[in-house]
Amino acid sequence: MENISEPYTIRYPEIVAVAAEDNSRVELVERFDCVGGAMWAKYHYRKSPLVRSVRTVGATSRYLLNPGEEDLALVGSHFPAGISGVHVTDDEIAVSYRGMGGGGVGASICRSLARGVLRCETEPSGGGRVAGSTVWLPRMQRVLIGIDDTDTPEEGATWTLAHSIARAVEDDHSRYLSHTIVQLFPVPFRTKNCVAIVCEFASNQPDRLADRFQAYLERYTLSEDTGMAVFCGFDPAVLDEFGWSVKQGEISPDSVDRVRDHVDIRIGGRGVIGAIAAIPFFTRYEEALSL
């Protein structure tokens, strides 16, 4: 029987953080390997004063955080672990965790080993000790890329092409976070199901990311009507009204002028309407799929 190299350590595969433009909010995205540990952390960490909300998206936990620092009044079983500090600079985001017992192991060594961590300070953990860590992460920007109209009645599928390109352009500077299929109003000229796609990234090189995505899309699209639009920012709520209007009925191409200032239109075919409309629905899967 082989030895387990680190029987009391579970490495988080990746931690990413994006900050609002005014530093007022941070979204911490923790990619997990142990679902039980992630759900335990989600349940208890939400009690931290700095945590505004937490949700599970695929194999990630997403914590919406307020910057600041708090002394956590930890209590075994009731509030055994949490997030005690969030600090934002121009280039980095520092997050501090603290926990008791097994919660201290998760708050210290497990997170300090994650991909994306630039450096860390970690206390000894295990047994009944209270322990924690501070991890420094690159400050990232949310980049949402919407695409539509890449296939033909004979071949292709937009949702698979979007995912394949997103995987191809992912690197240390641009991390692929999510893929959302957005149901649109079934216009007469649709291929079949009338959906658009939005891919979400955390990036500190947004222009390079968009350039590479566009190059792949232009190479592999099968349609003359392809659209691609890019939104860079923490919250695309400014596109909500436009998105719902495209889900509720056919709109004219001139309607794009209402939101043109909020997006970077990279490919301006007829599909740009759906590409823009998909953007505000990223990770809002129930709403995205509703018709």
* Residue 239, domain member (yes or no): yes
Tokens 């692929």, residue located: 176
Domain check: are 285 and 154 in the same one? yes
pLDDT at 152 over 80: no
What proportion of the chain, given as a percentage, has pLDDT over 90?
Answer: 79
Give the list of residues 6+ apart from residue 162 with CB closer than 8 angstroms, or none. 147, 150, 179, 197, 199
Alpha helices in the chain (DSSP H): 35-45, 102-105, 111-112, 158-169, 206-220, 240-248, 272-278, 285-289
Question: Which of 101, 120, 139 is the last residue before a domain boundary?
Answer: 139
User: Last residue of a domain, which of 139, 160, 194?
Assistant: 139
pLDDT at 41: 96
Q: Decide if 114 is inside a domain.
A: yes
Instruction: Give pTM, 2 decimals.
Output: 0.95
Q: Could you say which DSSP state residue 278 is in?
A: H
Given a contact cutoff of 8 angstroms between Cβ atoms, the answer to whether 102 and 123 are in contact is no
Place of tokens 């690197």: 171
pLDDT confidence band for 189 (50 / 70 / 90): low
Asked if 186 and 282 sit in the same domain, the reply is yes
pLDDT at res. 276 = 97
One domain for residues 278 and 153: yes
Query: Is 8 part of a structural domain of the chain?
Result: no
| CATH number, position 227 | 3.30.70.2200
Q: What pLDDT is recorded for position 122? A: 87
On whether both 108 and 154 belong to a single domain, the answer is: no
Instruction: Give me the percent of the chain exceeding a pLDDT of 70.
Output: 97
162, 179 Cβ separation under 8 angstroms:
yes
Q: Are residues 111 and 206 in the same domain?
A: no
Could you tell me if residue 172 is inside a domain? yes
Residue type, 24: S
> Is residue 7 assigned to a domain?
no
- Give the model's confidence band at 131: pLDDT under 50 very low, under 70 low, under 90 confident, else very high: confident
Residues 132 and 170 both lie in one domain? no
Q: Is position 77 within any domain?
A: yes
Say whether both 125 and 187 belong to one domain: no
- Whether 206 has a pLDDT exceeding 70, the answer reads yes
What is the span of the domain harbouring residue 203? 149-289
CA separation for the pair 144, 2 (Å, rounded): 44
Render pLDDT for 49-64 as a digit per residue (tens, 0 to 9): 999 999 999 999 999 9
Residue that finishes a domain, picked among 92, 111, 139: 139
Give the pLDDT score at 186.
81
Domain count within the chain: 2
Q: Is residue 6 part of a domain?
A: no
* 172 and 120 part of one domain: no
Does one domain contain both 132 and 258?
A: no
Whether the per-residue pLDDT at 191 is higher than 70: the answer is: no
Is 47 inside a domain boundary?
A: yes
Q: Are residues 215 and 132 in the same domain?
A: no
What Rg do the C-alpha atoms of the chain give, in angstroms? 21
153 and 131, same structural domain?
Answer: no
51 and 170 share one domain? no
